[in-house]
Amino acid sequence: MNKRRILIKCPSCSKTGYIDASEGLSSMGNRGVIAIHVLNNTICPHSFVVYIDKNLKL
């Protein structure tokens, strides 16, 4: 499985950072959208959910 780095931005503080997403995750979304829970202290002190489409686009 190939991994793709995706640049995301916290909706609370606007800090940006990267998460690694596997292209294999795209097959898991039954509606074509994947929800990824970003835990606190991964990008910033906040915890939030990122929704990515089946092509791994925000």
What is the reported pLDDT for 26?
55
Q: Which of 36, 47, 4 is nearest to 22 (CA)?
A: 4
Would you say residue 58 lies in a domain? no
Task: State pLDDT tens for residues 3-20.
Answer: 778 899 999 999 999 988
Task: State pLDDT tens for residues 26-41.
Answer: 556 567 788 889 999 9
Percent of the chain at pLDDT > 90 equals 45
Q: Strands of 1-56 (E only): list them.
A: 3-9, 16-22, 33-38, 48-53
The answer to whether residue 45 scores a pLDDT higher than 70 is yes
Report the number of distinct structural domains present in the chain.
1
Would you say residue 38 lies in a domain? yes
Domain span holding position 33: 3-53
Give the C-alpha separation, 50 to 58, whole Å. 8
Dihedral of the alpha carbons of 44, 46, 48, 53, in degrees to the nearest 10: -10
